[in-house]
Every structure is written in structure tokens, then in C-alpha cells.
Amino acid sequence: YVLLLNSDAWMDDGAVDLLAAFADAHPRAAVVGPRLRYPDGRLQRSVRGFPTPWRLVTEYYFLRWLAPNSRALNAFYGAGVDHRSRHTAEFLVGAVLLVRRTAFEEVGGFDTDFFMFNEEVDLCYRLDRAGWRTVFCPTAEFTHVGGASTTPVWDSMYREQLRSHLRFLSKHRGEQTAERMRKVLMWSMRLRSVVFRGDRA
């Protein structure tokens, strides 16, 4: 196995052993991820859905705020997923992932065209298409601060987040879809510049 661990994440006692034992018992699980907590103990929701044009619209045009528990409007953030039970997921937040080495090598590992953001999304997507599974395992728990590396340079990281969405769509949905979505995201940024003030604008 390969353990992918962010620099701002740390494990509970025995958490890695629990992930490995789960993977041993489920040979088609290529990625196994734990339950994440913020440092204050709050749940950090980590089960997500692959980016699609509609899901990105619900995120960048604030539609998910209207119904945060709706799968139709908030599938990107895994609306309605119970983080107390095991689930097969489309992808998991990449702060902590145990990856089966044979599966990782089978699909060619990470795509280095993704500098920041969506690299784990792309990996899980390719593994899914190759017949592997990504599984959320809540019995293993880690603490994850979140944003420790990106917050100090968030302006450039936010732009990279948008670019990475477009890279993902271009790679898996085609350049025409990515170009249409680029225009949609551009208009969403214009909307945000009206709604927000200061740095968020």
C-alpha cells in the first residue's frame, strides 16, 4: 500500500492498521479513506462526487446553499452521506488515503498535469473506470486541519482550483465541454465580484 498523508493531518492510534486491514479484506478496494475530524473534534465531510458541469454550477452559483442536503443540488459535496457508516464513494478528500500499490501502478499513478487540486479526483476516476473501488472507512479516524498549505497563498490557489476543474473536464469530458464550462465559471466569478466585497470579490 501507499499512504498519502497531508502535512496538516495526523492519525489516531491504530488508524493506519485499520485502513490496511480493511483493504486486505476487500481486494477490489483500491482507495480506502478514513473519517476526518477538524482539530476541535467536528466532523470533516470527506465523501465527494466527481465534478460534472452541473455539479460545478451548483457549487459556483451558490445553488447548493439552497438545499445543502439535496443530492440534486449538492452531490459534489456528498449531500446526505452518513459519515458513521461504510460507503463506496466516487472520490474522497485526499488529505489521507490508503492506496493499493498494484492498482495505483495499473492506472499510471498521479497525472502530474494536476499541480494542485483534483489530482486525487482524477486518480479515483481512473481507478473507477478500471473497475476498482474507493471506499470510506469510518472506523479509522484522522485529524485534518485543512488548508494549512493553501490558505497563506489562497488567491493563486483559488485560481488553480478553477483551472484544475477545467483540466479534469477536458481530460474526461472533452475540450468542448471544458471550454463551455470555462465560460460558465467566468460568469460565476463576475457574479461573485458583485455579491462579495474585499478579498472574496
pLDDT digits (tens, 9 = 90+) for 31-83: 999 999 999 999 999 999 999 999 999 999 989 888 888 889 999 988 888 99
Least confident of 21-35, 63-77, 115-129: 63-77
Residue 1: its pLDDT value, please? 97
Higher pLDDT pick, 64 / 24: 24
pLDDT tier, 196 (very low <50, low <70, confident <90, very high otherwise):
confident
Kindly state the average pLDDT of the residues 120-140: 97
Residue 65: its pLDDT value, please? 87
Mean pLDDT over each residue of the chain, to the nearest integer: 93
Higher pLDDT pick, 28 / 157: 28
Distance in angstroms (rounded) separating the CA atoms of residues 148 and 25:
34
Higher pLDDT pick, 156 / 61: 61
pTM of the model: 0.92
Residue 167: its pLDDT value, please? 97
Residue 3: its pLDDT value, please? 97
- C-alpha angle 90/96/101, rounded to 5°? 75
Residue 153, pLDDT > 70, answer no
Local structure of 87: helix, strand or coil? strand
Residue 144: its pLDDT value, please? 96
The DSSP string of 106-138 is HTTS--TT--SSSHHHHHHHHHHHTT-EEEEEE
CA distance readout (Å), 161 to 33, 54, 137: 22, 17, 27
Kindly state the average pLDDT of the residues 149-160: 76
